[in-house]
Amino acid sequence: MCIEHGNNDHPMCEHWSGPQSNQVVAEQKKSNNKTQQLPWTGEPFQPADIAIVSQRSTPLIIGMVGSPDAGKTSYLGMLYTLLFNGIKLERWSFAGSCTLAAWETLAQCLQIKPGGLVKFAPPTPSNPDYYSLFHLSLKKGKLFRDVLFADSSGEVFNLWSENTQDSNAGNARWIYEKSSAFVFMVDCVALIEKRGAAKSEIIQMAEQLAANLKGRPVAVVWSKADRIYEVRENIKSALDEDLTLIFGNSKVFEVSNFSKSDPDTLCHKNNLEVTEYLLEELNKPRAINLIPQIESSGDLFFNYRGSYVSE
């Protein structure tokens, strides 16, 4: 018998080693159930977490592609900052997110600190099994979409663009295979500082991205465009032409995370337009090839495609 915790309070005693009281067990169960009711934590989704949202709609994955430092993570931080501050997409409205804590962390990096400094997000980790998917639910009328932005490390995408089968580029391969659309970043500051070398790196990555696109839309985004006027005109126009050849009529945007005015086109308007453009492209009806591709065989029955097909 415990002197301090008499009657039914004995399981509260620090020396008690027997089974817990029904009340304590019931309370523990209740709090366990609470955590089990929420399968997400607010942190970035990992590929296995996609199942959390895939039951209600087929999620669209938007892959962020670009060289190291190109501005991929900052783009996402600014996207959330704008939405959080009530600046809206034109046709889509915010309907929730399972990764709010992750978005918040990105947005905090863009907040102006005392002394006017902005401490940008650290480079995205480059280990091949690192995944960082940011979730948004969006609505347009009766249409509901779960969108996952797949952030990536530029270092890994560099490896992938040199050799898609590189053993250290597993997450870049995953993003390329699973994404429904891409944001392709062209870093103005890299073009100012590394000129031709940066241009070659960008073209190599663009060609690799275009190699097996299968009609998936790409938004070409000149990032850090607050300095675009410093990019040599010949480099800019040659790269522009090359990217048009590679991606066809993909839409081109200029974005910046530094606003010069309020509102600022590069910062406040163009950032949201990139996402809006991809969402609209993804919702366009696509032609479906209804004639099955059957290997030619000697069998007349299997070779028959209907009387309207001329060989």
Q: Contact residues for Mg ion (CB under 5 A)?
A: 72-73, 124
Kindly tell me the sign of the dihedral angle through the C-alpha atoms of 166, 167, 171, 175.
positive
SS3 category, 63: strand
DSSP string, 140-154: ETTEEEEEEEEE--H
Q: How far apart are CA 284 and CA 169, in angstroms?
A: 31
Site for ligand GTP contains 111 (CB under 6 A): no
In angstroms, the CA 211 to CA 274 distance is: 22
44, 63, 72, 216: which one binds ligand GTP (CB under 6 A): 72
Work out which of 123, 196, 248, 263 binds ligand GTP, going by CB under 6 A: 123
Answer for the pair 151, 36: CB distance below 8 angstroms, yes or no.
Answer: no
Asked if 121 touches ligand GTP (CB under 6 A), the answer is yes
Q: Which is nearer to ligand GTP, 2 or 110 (CB)?
A: 110
**Per-residue x/- track, 190-229, ligand GTP (CB under 6 A):** ----------------------------------x-xx--
74, interface contact from ligand GTP, Mg ion, none, CB < 5-8 Å by kind: ligand GTP
Q: Assess 281 for contact with ligand GTP (CB under 6 A).
A: no
Going along the chain, which residue ranges are E strands?
60-65, 93-96, 112-113, 117-118, 132-140, 143-151, 181-187, 218-223, 252-254
Pick what 137 binds: Mg ion, ligand GTP, none; C-beta below 5 to 8 Å, kind-dependent.
Answer: none
* Binding residues vs ligand GTP (CB under 6 A): 66, 68-74, 120-121, 123-124, 153-154, 189, 224, 226-227, 256-258
